[in-house]
Amino acid sequence: MSDVFADLVGQDEAVVELRRAAAAAAAVLRAGAAALVAAGPVSGDEPASTPGGVDPSTGMTHAWIFTGPPGSGRSVAARAFAAALQCVHGTGCGECPGCHTTMGGTHADVRMVVPEGLSIGVGEMRALVLRAASTPSGGRWQVVIIEDADRLTEAAGNALLKAIEEPPPRTVFLLCAPSTHPDDISVTIRSRCRVVPLRQPPAIAVAEVLVRRDGIAPDVAQWAAAAAQGHVGRARRLARDPEARKRREAVLAVPRRLTGVGAAFDAASALIEAAEAEAEASVTESDTTERAALETALGAGGTGRGTAGAMRGAAGQLKELEKRQKSRATRAQRDALDRALVDLAGFYRDALTMALRAPVAPVHTDTAALAGAGAQKWDAEGSLRRLEAVLACRAAIEANVKPRIAVEAMMLALWKG
Ligand SMILES: [Zn+2]
């Protein structure tokens, strides 16, 4: 039998801490219930024994931040912890309705914020904070999970901070962010949260979960886990999706195609266009469905009296939707491009470790021979310069440099060395 923490791969220390906190949270609820019984059923107020804020002695806290590299399982950890909080046994058994509905995303007291655009706005956050303050309908906890809390706008961060500073007694905030660096999460929010650091899970642990949970053949799972560099979701996609494998192969063909300036620009165009195509494939379907749904809701095509006025209001809503969709498309493109850059960085990292004769396994076993040839030609120094060019490109895009310009500069650097 596997409980809710089973898919949190290679994070033993974090799991121990979360289990302890879940048990403490269950004890808080039991103490509250006992106090209610003692006080008699007429007492409607929260009993005094239920802590309103942070109580370090119980091991339970109202605000948490899960940090770690992409794919390390930040949101998996947050969701599993939410399930353990809603579990009727207080353990995250994986069997009870509380666990099931939380893991399935349908628990009434668990809200998950997944930003679709590049940032989470203040309106969204205010609405969320308001709802989070209500009494949990299931009698346990109100849990709010904020994925990519590093994408909070400043105003949204302030709205969240207010709620974290004075948390309602039964509300728990679970934030996910790459790190606790001030660029990712404001210092004031950080100071109110307990941090659960996750690490990049080892390839062997990732392969194990692909075999056990997804029924993937062991040799494919091992290859995919290594190629995905510890990113669980990416490993699963590589193992299952032939299109994802094809895109990866195209990216890894870049180093041998860089034979001159023209080739470098061609490679840059190809990389950008591949990312655009991948992003478009991932968002087009939901875009169309959303637009159709909104148009139906707004009564598009109506001819009755008042239609003109309704359509004027509708135009505003459609514009709003288009703005949201555009922002989501931009994000999908950047994510696709970033995956390609991570693959490419893995290739030059392989060349570097080979040039140094470091006793570590290559990231990309299927291009290891090519990386070996590169290592001979470039030596450690040239390999490192190329690796740095890829990382600099990622950083530039993160800092809002136009992707095409950043990628062209990178390709030229990779060619010239
Ligand atoms: Zn349970």
Q: Which has more confidence, 61 or 325?
A: 61
For ligand 1, the distance from its centroid to the CA atom of residue 88, given in whole angstroms, is 5
Q: State in Å: Cα 127 to ligand 1 middle.
A: 29
Asked if the model's pLDDT at residue 298 lies above 80, the reply is no
pLDDT at 296: 76
Helix (H, G, I), strand (E, B), or coil: what is residue 195? strand
pLDDT number for residue 308: 60
What one-letter code names the amino acid at 285?
E
Reference 46, options 116, 115, 136; nearest CA is 136
Residue 100 C-alpha to ligand 1 middle, in angstroms? 7
Query: 86 alpha carbon to ligand 1 midpoint, in Å?
Result: 7
pLDDT of amino acid 97: 94
Question: CB atoms < 10 A from the CB of 203, how many?
Answer: 22
- Compute, in angstroms, the gap from residue 83 CA to the centroid of ligand 1: 7
Cα(389) to centroid of ligand 1, in Å?
48
Mean pLDDT value across the chain:
86
As a whole number, mean pLDDT of residues 149-172 equals: 90
Higher-confidence residue of 199 and 117: namely 199
269 has pLDDT over 80: yes
Expressed in angstroms and rounded, the spacing between residue 5 Cα and the centre of ligand 1 is 11
CA separation, residue 165 to residues 6, 47, 53, 85, 112 (Å): 32, 21, 9, 21, 20
Question: pTM value?
Answer: 0.70
Q: How far away, in angstroms, is 92 Cα from ligand 1 center?
A: 4
Buried residues in 66-76 as b, exposed as e (16+ CB within 10 A) = bbbbbbbbbbb
pLDDT of residue 311 exceeding 70: no
Say if residue 4's pLDDT is above 80: yes
Q: Quick one: pLDDT band at residue 17, thresholds 50, 70, 90?
A: very high
Using DSSP, state whether 137 is helix, strand or coil. coil
In the block, residue with structure tokens 């046994």? 89
